[in-house]
Structure 1
Amino acid sequence: MRLRIHHNTVYRYQTPARRIVQAMRLWPAPVAGQQVLDWQVMVGGRGLRPRSRDGFGNAEATYSADGPLDELCVGVVGQVITEDRHGVIQGSEELLDPLFYCAPSVLTQPDQALRELAERCRRHRGLEQAHQLMRVVREAVEFKTEETHSETDASEALAHGYGVCQDHAHVMIACARILQRPARYVSGYLWIDGDSVSPASHAWSELYIDDLGWVGFDPANRICPTESYVRVAVGRDARDAAPIRGLRQGGTVESLEVNVSVAQVSADPARTQSQPVQQ
C-alpha cells in the first residue's frame, strides 16, 4: 500500500515566547515492509533533517529559536510504501537488549489492578499470551476520546475504564512487563478504513516474542499492525516516542492545533482515498 501523510502542528502563544527548544522524532525508519519514498519536515518555514539517533534508535533532530515568537509551525509531508507482515518487525536498528523494556517507566508503573489484569493471561504462553493480553486490555478499556490527556498513565486509564490509543498501549505495555515480557510504545500513523476506532495519528505497542522478535499489537483496534500502519518512533512509553517534546521560555498560555491526513495513493489520483483528522 502506498500512503501519503500530511501532519501539521501549530503552537500559538498568548504572549510571545523568548526561546523555544524542541526535540523532534518525526522520521520513520525503513524496516521490512516499510519503504520511505519521500519525507520532508519543515519547522518555521525551513527544512529540518535528523542529526542523530536517540538511545532507542529513533532519528532525531533538535530545533531551537529565539523570540519573540507568537507561533511555531511544524509540517510533515511524505510517502511510504507498506506491506502487511502481521505485525512482525524485521530489519530495525536495535540499540538495546529487549530485556531493557521489562522495566516500568513513568507512564506504565504497575498497580494492583494492572497486576490482576495481567494475571488473567499468565497461563498462556508466547504469541498466544500476547494476543490474549490485547483482547483483555481492550475489553477493560473502552475507546473514548477527550477524557484522558498526554500524561494519563496506565493505572489511571484502567481505573477510568476508557481512553484513547495511547492509553490502550500503556495498559498493554504495563501488563506485559508484569508478566516479564519486554514491551515498548510505538508512535506513528494509521490509514483509517471501515470501522477502525482511532485517528490517523496513532500509537500502539510492541512485545518481544521468542523466535519472532518484536511484534506489534494495537489494542485499540484489536489487531496486529497491517499495511495501513506507518511506524515512526519507539520508546518505553509515550514520553520517549513523542513526535515533538520541548521547552520554552516565556510564551504564556500555549494553544496547540494538530491536523493529520493519511491518504492511500492509487495509480489514478482521482481515486486517492484519504482520512483527514483534526485534533
Structure 2
Amino acid sequence: MVYKITHRTTYKYVYPVSVGNHVACLKPRSFPHNRLIENSLVIHPTPVTLTERVDYFGNILCFFTVQELHKELIVQAESEVITDIAAAERESLPWEDSAVALAQDHTLEGLDAYQFQFESPRIRIRPEFAAYALQSFTPRRPMREALLDLTSRIHRDFRFDSKVTTVRTTTEEVFKKRRGVCQDFAHVQIACLRSINVAARYVSGYLRTYPPPGKARLIGADASHAWVSAYCKDLGWLDMDPTNNVAPSDGHVTLAWGRDYSDVSPLRGLILGGGSHTLNVEVDMEPIET
C-alpha cells in the first residue's frame, strides 16, 4: 500500500515570539515493510537555519531556528510511504527463554534490544505492572501468543477517553483510571512488559482510518498514533497495537521509535515570548492507487 501523508501543526501565540528553536521528528523511518519514498518539510515563518541529524535511536530529526517576529508557527510535513504485510510469523520461544537469552546476547542486535528492558523518563518498573502482565505471560507460554493476549486484555480493560489524560499524565495514573489515549495504552503495555524483563519500545506513527459506510473520507481528519514493539529472541521485534487490539499491518506507518513518548514527540522546542498558545494538528493519510 502507498500512502501520501500530510502532517500539519499550527501554533498560535497570544504575544509575538521573537526567537524559536525547535526540533521536528516528522520524517518516517525506512525499513522492510515501511519504505520511505520522499519527505518534505515546509515551515512558516521561514527558518534562518535548518539541519537534519540522526538521533541515538536512528530517528531522523530536523533542527530549525525562527528569528522572525511571529504570532503563528506552521510546520507541515509531507511524506510518501510504501507499506506491506510481513510474512506470517512462526511459533516463538517461551517468553522466559527469550528474556533470559537477551540478557546474555552480546551481539549488536541483542545489545540494542537490551536497553529497552529498563526504566525511562515516562515509564517505571512496578510490581502492579508485573502482576497484570503475568496474567498473560504464564509459564512457558510462547512470546507471540502472550503478547497478543496482553494486547487484547489492555484493549478490553481500558477505555479510550481523550479528556482524562494529558501528555503529563503518568503511566501509574493511567493504570489506575483505566482510561486514556493511544499514547497512554502504549506506555501501560511497555511498563507491563519491562516489569517482567521483556524488552519493549514505544512506536509513533500513523494509522489509516475509514469513514462510516456511505460517507466520504474527510481530509485532515486522521491522527497520529502510537503502539508497542516487543523483542523476541528468535523472531525479532513484534509490533502490537493495544488501542485497536491488532498486530500492525499495512495500515500502520511507522514514524519513529524510542524508550517512550519523550524520545519521539513530533515537535518540541524553546521560544522567547509568545505567552500562552493554542495548538492545532491536522493529519491526512491518503491511500494512493498503484
Range into which the TM-score falls when normalised by the shorter chain: 0.7 to 0.9
TM-score, length basis structure 1 = 0.86
Separation in 2, partners of 1:51, 1:250 = 26
Separation in 2, partners of 1:20, 1:5 = 26
Do 1:20 and 1:248's aligned partners in 2 also have CA atoms closer than 8 Å? yes
Separation in 2, partners of 1:143, 1:199 = 16
Match of 1:132 among 137, 141, 149: 149
Question: Residues 151-180 of structure 1: CA distance to partner in whole angstroms, max 9, x if unpaired?
Answer: 222211111111111011000000010110
Do 1:87 and 1:226's aligned partners in 2 also have CA atoms closer than 8 Å? no
Change (3 A) 1:148 1:261: same
Separation in 2, partners of 1:78, 1:2 = 10
Code of the residue aligned with 1:211 in structure 2: it is D
Separation in 2, partners of 1:194, 1:224 = 21
In structure 2, the partner of 1:220 is 243
SS at match of 2:57: coil
Separation in 1, partners of 2:88, 2:162 = 25
Match of 2:134 among 119, 124, 127: 119
Question: Residues 221-276 of structure 1: CA distance to partner in whole angstroms, max 9, x if unpaired?
Answer: 10111101110111110110111111112211011011111111125xxxxxxxxx
SS at match of 1:151: coil
Change (3 A) 1:95 1:253: farther
In structure 2, the partner of 1:256 is 279
Separation in 1, partners of 2:50, 2:273 = 27
In structure 2, the partner of 1:189 is 206
Alignment of 1:53-64 (within 5 A): 53-64=54-65
In structure 1, the partner of 2:103 is none
Shift of 1:110: 3.3
In structure 1, the partner of 2:217 is none
Separation in 2, partners of 1:10, 1:200 = 14
Shift of 1:67: 4.2
Match of 1:103 among 118, 128, 135: 118
Do 1:154 and 1:170's aligned partners in 2 also have CA atoms closer than 8 Å? yes
Residue 141 in structure 1 maps to residue 158 in structure 2: yes
Separation in 2, partners of 1:56, 1:111 = 25
In structure 1, the partner of 2:104 is none
Do 2:16 and 2:71's aligned partners in 1 also have CA atoms closer than 8 Å? yes
RMSD: 2.4
Code of the residue aligned with 1:145 in structure 2: it is S
Code of the residue aligned with 2:187 in structure 1: it is H
Do 1:135 and 1:219's aligned partners in 2 also have CA atoms closer than 8 Å? yes
Shift of 1:143: 1.4
In structure 2, the partner of 1:174 is 191
In structure 2, the partner of 1:201 is 224
Shift of 1:96: 6.0
Residue 155 in structure 1 maps to residue 178 in structure 2: no
Separation in 2, partners of 1:52, 1:205 = 24
Change (3 A) 1:80 1:70: same
User: Which consecutive residues of structure 2, in runs of 5 or more, have no partner in the other structure?
Assistant: 90-107, 213-220
User: Which consecutive residues of structure 1, in runs of 5 or more, have no partner in the other structure?
Assistant: 268-279
Code of the residue aligned with 1:60 in structure 2: it is L
Change (3 A) 1:118 1:190: same
SS at match of 1:57: coil
Change (3 A) 1:45 1:79: farther
Code of the residue aligned with 1:104 in structure 2: it is E
TM-score, length basis structure 2 = 0.83
Identical counterparts, % of pairs: 30
Code of the residue aligned with 2:27 in structure 1: it is W
Change (3 A) 1:194 1:17: closer
Do 1:113 and 1:155's aligned partners in 2 also have CA atoms closer than 8 Å? no
Separation in 2, partners of 1:94, 1:250 = 44
